[in-house]
A and B are shown apart, each in its own frame.
Chain A
Amino acid sequence: MIGLSPEQRAILNGARGPYLAKCMRWLVDWGEAMGATRLIPVDNTHVLLPVPNLVARGASKETIEHYVRDLKEACSHRTNSRCICTVHTLFLTLDDLDVPENDPEQVRMQREITELATAAGFIPTFTCAPYLVGNVPLKGEVCAWTESSAVVYANSILGARTTRHGSESAIAASLLGLVPEFGVLLPENRKGTLRVEVSAALNHPTDWGALGYFAGKLAGLGIPVFNDVRRPSQDEAKQLCAALATSGGVTMCHIAGVTPEAPTLEAAFHGEVPGDFVSFTDATLRQTYRSLRDHTGDEIDAVILGCPHASIREIAEIACLLKNQRVADGVRLWVDTARGTKANADAMGYTKIIEEAGGRILCDTCPTNMRIAARRIVTHGFKQAHYARNMIGAEVIVAPTEACIRAALAGKWLGDE
């Protein structure tokens, strides 16, 4: 059972209105289901406030209106003054985009929600990678984040503490400044459960995605520990964390000798290193790539980069590869990123280079979230490849960035080298 303070009890009983009472009920019931005994203060939230757009393709008008009404009700309350609250990706872009998938009626609804949300205190970052645009919690900071890839990054790479949140719990946490204490918020639940010995040569960020995709499947809801591997770059860590949360229900991982809570392999396992381990070899690496390459031909029509949302360094690399080149006719090259990162890309001239080559920087969302139609997609993100296959029904080829760009220029998949 959760013990509540008199003030928390009063909110549950309606002292601050019916909506906050409902939020408190969600946190209490969720906490009890997950074994929490109390609510604790939260410093930092990342919330999901999207209209469904084509995620609910074919849904009735009533369903959409009902959903939007709930979001508006949430955004008519002020966020807690202690919390920094940023916002996750949308299922459409607020920029002008001439594709049928950016439903104008839902763009209008999203603009209305955004107006209410910013007035309430939600910062409209519209990204799946808040840690790239200023929401960078410190070690030990209690967070309530949506976006499972960002949750893994926050816990593992930054040492912050967040369980995996959904829309309602992150909204409730933002408005009440509280979360139920369970799971990885407690130190004893941050202990590794699966030892992964890495002997493969990891040369590209996408190789780290392959490592995550492999380990996530085996770890399930557990905590993988990677051993004998060098320190990843920020972009490599981003791919690792996203893939872990795609193939499994992973909330965090450790990299022995690298991440904040794993100075040693022993520390990652809280002193109890298992003798059993799985190996990630060069052969496993190749096999993992093959598992997300189901193309029946080489002609392609879409190249999707920026999953999770591209960093400024990735955009610089893409611009460098595209300079004075031209994307093949009939191929859409999308680079997905946050508005804040695009502002820097504009200033650096990267946006101009990418657009002159025939590509596009897409803010707020990604093509899979938008259900952009495509037949055969090349992407550097294991997460994007996994979901595009199901959600767009496209054939997918996952590959490092350079090979993706070569495919974009040629209009067909040319292989890795």
Chain B
Amino acid sequence: MSEVLEVKGRVVARGCAAGEALVSDSVLSFWGEVDPVSGKVIAVGHPLEGQSLRGRVLVIRSTKGSSATPMVLNLAKLEGNAPAAFVNLEVDSLAALGCIVNGIPMITDLERSPFEAIQTGDHVVVDANAGVLTIIKK
């Protein structure tokens, strides 16, 4: 049996989703660092360079930068390449907006560090109505 953890957090964007976690204690810009058509991180030298965000539960410190964040998320969603959900340590207002307008769940302010609780490859169920993550360790 896999180990299962439940961690509570604060809801930023409502909804429910599940997927394989992609974890990096780093900051990512959707504008210029993510290609919405391939769904991949294209930032040269970024810890997530080359990784696909499609259907993943993206666990990062925060997003940064551009006003185009919601637009890139919208295009990625239309192409079927958006992350399934966001778990962020800090909330960048543009990622929050992008998640809200595109129906992508987002949770923050976890009761323990997401980088300790979640590893890349864990299966994570995000209930961003109740504000609970269920982490099934790989």
Is there an interface contact between B37 and A183, defined as CB atoms closer than 8 Å? no
Q: B49 to nearest A CB, angstroms?
A: 9
Is there an interface contact between B67 and A166, defined as CB atoms closer than 8 Å? yes
Please give, as numbers and ranges, the residues of chain B lying within 8 Å of A203 by CB-CB distance. Answer: none
- Chain A 164-187 per-residue mask, 1 if CB under 8 angstroms from chain B, else 0: 111111100000000000110000
- Chain B 66-82 per-residue mask, 1 if CB under 8 angstroms from chain A, else 0: 11111110110011000
CA distance A59 to B63 in the complex (A): 23
A47 (CB) vs chain B CBs: closest residue: B67
Total interface residues in chain B, CB < 8 Å: 40
Interface residues of B (CB under 8 A from A): 11-14, 27, 31-33, 36-38, 42-44, 62-72, 74-75, 78-79, 90-94, 96-98, 100-101, 106
- Chain A 60-95 per-residue mask, 1 if CB under 8 angstroms from chain B, else 0: 101100110000000000000000000010000000
**A163 interface hit (Cβ, 8 Å):** yes
Is there an interface contact between B36 and A59, defined as CB atoms closer than 8 Å? yes
Is there an interface contact between B100 and A57, defined as CB atoms closer than 8 Å? no
The residue from B63, B74, B93 contacting A183, defined by CB atoms under 8 A apart: B93
Is there an interface contact between B44 and A165, defined as CB atoms closer than 8 Å? no
Is there an interface contact between B37 and A58, defined as CB atoms closer than 8 Å? yes
Please give, as numbers and ranges, the residues of chain B lying within 8 Å of A170 by CB-CB distance. Answer: 67
Q: A393 to nearest B CB, angstroms?
A: 8
Please give, as numbers and ranges, the residues of chain A lying within 8 Å of B91 by CB-CB distance. Answer: 33-34
Is there an interface contact between A66 and B67, defined as CB atoms closer than 8 Å? no
CA distance A29 to B103 in the complex (A): 11
7 A-B pairs within 8 Å (CB atoms) are namely: A34-B91, A56-B79, A63-B79, A67-B78, A164-B94, A249-B92, A386-B32
The residue from A63, A164, A221, A390 contacting B75, defined by CB atoms under 8 A apart: A63
Beyond A29-B13, A29-B100, A48-B68, list 9 extra A-B contacts (CB 8 Å): A34-B93, A59-B79, A62-B78, A63-B79, A164-B93, A168-B70, A220-B62, A221-B64, A387-B31
CA distance A386 to B66 in the complex (A): 13
The prevalent SS among residues of A at the interface is helix
Please give, as numbers and ranges, the residues of chain A lying within 8 Å of B92 by CB-CB distance. Answer: 221, 249
Is there an interface contact between B67 and A48, defined as CB atoms closer than 8 Å? yes
Is there an interface contact between A26 and B101, defined as CB atoms closer than 8 Å? yes
**A114 interface hit (Cβ, 8 Å):** no
Total interface residues in chain A, CB < 8 Å: 45
Is there an interface contact between B37 and A56, defined as CB atoms closer than 8 Å? yes
- Which A144-201 residues sit within 8 Å CB-CB of chain B? 145-148, 151, 163-170, 182-183
CA distance A147 to B33 in the complex (A): 16
Q: A34 to nearest B CB, angstroms?
A: 6
**Given A29-B13, A387-B32, A390-B43, is A249 in contact with B64 using a C-beta cutoff of 8 Å?**
yes
**A119 interface hit (Cβ, 8 Å):** no
**A248 interface hit (Cβ, 8 Å):** yes
CA distance A183 to B92 in the complex (A): 11
Is there an interface contact between A245 and B65, defined as CB atoms closer than 8 Å? yes
Is there an interface contact between B97 and A168, defined as CB atoms closer than 8 Å? yes
Is there an interface contact between B90 and A26, defined as CB atoms closer than 8 Å? no
Please give, as numbers and ranges, the residues of chain A lying within 8 Å of B100 by CB-CB distance. Answer: 26, 29-30, 33
CA distance A249 to B33 in the complex (A): 14
**A52 interface hit (Cβ, 8 Å):** yes
**A55 interface hit (Cβ, 8 Å):** yes
Please give, as numbers and ranges, the residues of chain B lying within 8 Å of A26 by CB-CB distance. Answer: 97, 100-101
CA distance A57 to B38 in the complex (A): 9
**Given A33-B100, A60-B79, A66-B78, is A166 in contact with B37 using a C-beta cutoff of 8 Å?**
no
**Given A163-B93, A221-B62, is A168 in contact with B101 using a C-beta cutoff of 8 Å?**
yes
B32 (CB) vs chain A CBs: closest residue: A387
